[in-house]
Amino acid sequence: MELQNQNKEKIIHAFEELTLFLIQDAMHSSVTTIDPDTIREIRENVVLITAHL
């Protein structure tokens, strides 16, 4: 069970890193602002995905 929790944490962290990368990439493109609702939605989706692991 502990290993499963560690794996979930690793996956959540990886999604967070990916999200930050995508946001930073978008900031350097034509997108000037990131909608906080978008970030919240991504985070909720990560939680939903990891809940099924």
28: number of CA atoms within 13 Å, CB side?
5
Whether this prediction's pTM lies above 0.85 is answered by: no
Per-residue pLDDT of the chain (53 residues), as tens digits, is: 788 888 888 888 888 888 888 877 777 766 566 778 877 887 888 788 777 76
CB atoms within 10 A of CB 45: 12
Helix or strand (DSSP H, E) at 32: none
pLDDT at 49: 78
Spatial distance between the Cα atoms of 25 and 43, rounded to a whole number of angstroms: 18
Tokens 């995508």 correspond to: 22
